[in-house]
Amino acid sequence: MAMATYRAFQAVGGGKLELVDRPLEPPAPGMVRVAVEACGVCHTDVLTVEGGFPGVNYPRVPGHEAVGRVDAVGEGVARWSPGQRVGVGFLAGRCGKCPSCRRGDFVNCTNQLITGIHLDGGYAEMMLASEHALVAIPESLHSAEAAPLQCAGVTTFNALRKSVARPGELVAIQGLGGLGHLAVQFARHMGFRTAAIARGPDKRDLALSLGAHHYVDSEAEDPARRLRELGGASVVVATAANPGTFGPLLGGLGPNGQLVVVGAGLEPMQVKVADLLFGERSIAGINTGTPVEIEDALNFSLLQDVRAMIETVPFERAPEAYARMLANKARFRMVIEMRPDS
């Protein structure tokens, strides 16, 4: 007997997630219905659950690291068919009409919709997504492993491969959390001499086990000075959630070096203009990636055995996973599993 409803955890504002039964709807033209197998819990989900995104409409199902299988396709969908393994990341599609889209810059679509903010996301047994938002998931990659690679994975992957750094050069990763522990792995496997920057001596073993060649304890020494002693970094990837720590890292860059920001926080980032002028250094930001870039990150991860360190919980405990992430207790990414054997 076909399902008539599906379960979802929807945000209703004020940090509350409520479990509801929703009617199963057919996908509209250009849309695909996905039976979700796993969904990662990202800190960006607070924009929906806590109400931080301007104009978010409630109720709304959060979650932009969803992996599952195509359950049904709407009229006009040719690329996808029932049974295919797919993912849905942060970007919910593209308008195809704005100047950015016309130039192929889909990440910066002027009318970009966001999964879990403008459209219901993956904290659910089923979800609807645009055909242009779907990611092809390799069959050999477990759903729970693939989920965080669609956000934290592609963000750090793109931060490095779009940077000015070249194999053999020194690259530093600031932070060893949900983003940083992946960035260190990507940097090592891309052929960079990798330095990990974190607070305290207890992070050293983790950094080295992830592939770092050097560990810099920011509590015991000045990271910029240490990077200069190592010859100066071509790139520093800032993954921490406190932008106030980003600016001083400019001093650890070599000439024409680049500070790439992927971490987010509410406080402003302050820089010394002299650190930009002398050495002709620059600052760049990276915001996620397109579906095909996510596929690149997934395939690279398979080739080089890069994986997120995850904690999984069954669907019924989704609010617990969210709370654990919010309290910074996740080590290092929480993943909700609807079908644990997938």
**For 94-122, b where at least 16 C-beta lie within 10 A, e where not — what string?**
beeebebbeeeebbebeebebbbbbbbbb
20 burial (CB, 10 Å; 0-12 / 13-18 / 19+) is middle
pLDDT value, residue 2:
66
Low-confidence ranges of the chain (pLDDT < 50): 1
pLDDT value, residue 339:
75
| Tokens describing residue 297 | 């990150």
Q: Other CB atoms closer than 10 Å to residue 279's CB: what's the count?
A: 16
pLDDT value, residue 1:
46
The full set of domains in the chain, from first to last, is 5-151+289-337 (3.90.180.10), 163-285 (3.40.50.720)
pLDDT value, residue 135:
98
pTM given for the model: 0.96
